[in-house]
């Protein structure tokens, strides 16, 4: 069966568009709220700029089982930064969704189940080599995500790191292990997308009970409630991250976005979180985008 690379790429871009359109999304850019430096429109431009990256990712999966994906990700990161003036809009989502596009192309049947997609991800991530690691770390370096911690012996800003990757021939999953508890992408790559799969399953359940608009916002809250946001964790510390997750869980107890009281509490939380860059749950947004991509690549139609 011929693989439709455009079908895969279009669903990956759709996932980015649906994520930024998710409203309300506390502390983040959505349809009604911008940051001073990054607008809703910047995310739209950035999303479209990544189409070719996702298409190339699918081709790499089909032809090379993932080897060479790092260079594709690097070009995608560069396109993202140069296509708009809003800065880092999609680095985390790009790193999460590119392997999904790659894994989708391994299937000879459509739609691909979430279990089948996860099985293919394992193949893709294991086939990537040290050259992919260097390209991925360079992608991180050119974007320079705010608040990124420097890990001893694996500092992306140090030349010694790249020498060590080459010497030890470290695959991306091995190089990312030191970051697993503080970076959402590292967690998902090393733990084989466990949080993404949870988000995807919750999204499908939510769509069956409420409007698509509410289902997306509800899934965001469920992810934020269940997992400490690693962006907040790095920037504001564990107590702050725990407080935000706790507030998300209280909103869900009230019914979330489907309940007037829950929606009121959500808007109050949103206003509070917008007061500081330390309370921007960008990692949860990346997880939502990845979860949406899994649902779409599994053949689900909204």
Q: What is the pLDDT of residue 155?
A: 81
pLDDT at 21: 97
Q: Is the pLDDT of residue 110 over 80?
A: no
pLDDT of residue 147: 47
Please give the C-alpha separations between residue 155 and each of 123, 141, 160, 282, in angstroms, as whole numbers: 27, 10, 8, 21
Q: 248, 228 in Cβ contact below 8 A?
A: no
CA 74/CA 39 separation, integer angstroms: 23
Q: Where are the beta strands (DSSP E) in 164-219?
A: none
Residue 209 burial (CB < 10 Å; 0-12/13-18/19+)?
Answer: exposed
Mean pLDDT value across the chain: 93
Per residue in 127-153, pLDDT (tens digit) is: 999 999 999 999 999 997 654 445 555
**Contact residues for 253 (Cβ-Cβ < 8 A; gap 6+):** none
Residue 37 is given by DSSP the state S
Which one-letter DSSP state was computed for residue 179?
G
d(CA 27, CA 288): 15
Is 269 within 8 Å of 217 (Cβ atoms)?
Answer: no
Q: Find the helix packing angle between 282-297 and 5-21, rounded to 10°.
A: 140
Peptide bond just before 55 cis, omega within 30 deg: no
Q: Which tokens sit at 245?
A: 């997750």
Instruction: At 216, list the tokens.
Output: 């997306």
Residue 151: what pLDDT?
54
The pLDDT assigned to 108 comes to: 66
pLDDT band at 302 (very low <50, low <70, confident <90, very high): confident
pLDDT-above-70 percentage for the chain = 95
Q: CA 112, CA 284: separation in Å to the nearest integer?
A: 24
The pair of structure tokens assigned to 240 is: 């702050």
Give residue-wise pLDDT tens across range 167-200.
999 999 999 998 899 999 999 999 999 999 999 9
Domains, the chain, ranges and CATH? 5-210+292-297 (1.10.4200)
pLDDT tens column, 47-90:
999 999 999 999 999 999 999 999 999 999 999 999 999 999 99
For the segment 265-271, the average pLDDT, to the nearest whole number, is 95
Query: Mean pLDDT, to the nearest integer, of 93-115?
Result: 89
Helix (H, G, I), strand (E, B) or coil at 220: helix
């Amino acid at each position: 069966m011929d693989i439709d690379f455009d079908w895969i790429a279009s669903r990956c871009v759709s996932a980015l568009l649906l994520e930024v359109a998710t409203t309300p999304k506390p502390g983040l850019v959505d349809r009604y709220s911008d940051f001073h430096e990054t607008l809703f429109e910047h995310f739209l431009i950035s999303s479209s700029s990544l189409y070719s990256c996702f298409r190339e990712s699918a081709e790499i999966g089909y032809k090379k089982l993932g080897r060479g994906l790092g260079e594709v990700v690097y070009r995608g990161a560069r396109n993202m930064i140069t296509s708009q003036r809003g800065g880092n809009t999609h680095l985390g989502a790009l790193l999460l969704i590119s392997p999904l596009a790659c894994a989708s192309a391994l299937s000879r049947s459509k739609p691909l189940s979430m279990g089948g997609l996860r099985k293919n991800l394992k193949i893709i991530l294991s086939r990537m080599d040290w050259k992919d690691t260097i390209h991925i770390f360079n992608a991180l370096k050119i974007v320079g995500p705010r608040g990124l911690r420097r890990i001893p012996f694996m500092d992306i800003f140090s030349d010694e790191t790249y020498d060590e990757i080459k010497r030890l021939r470290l695959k991306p999953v091995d190089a990312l292990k030191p970051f697993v508890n503080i970076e959402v992408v590292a967690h998902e790559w090393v733990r084989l997308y466990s949080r993404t799969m949870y988000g995807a399953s919750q999204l499908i359940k939510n769509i069956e009970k409420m409007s698509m608009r509410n289902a997306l916002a509800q899934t965001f809250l469920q992810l934020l409630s269940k997992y400490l946001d690693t962006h907040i964790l790095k920037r504001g510390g564990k107590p702050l991250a725990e407080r935000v997750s706790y507030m998300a869980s209280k909103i869900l107890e009230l019914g979330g976005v489907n309940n007037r009281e829950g929606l009121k509490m959500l808007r109050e939380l949103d206003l509070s979180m917008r007061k500081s860059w330390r309370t921007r749950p960008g990692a949860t947004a990346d997880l939502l985008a990845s979860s949406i991509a899994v649902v779409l690549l599994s053949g689900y139609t909204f």
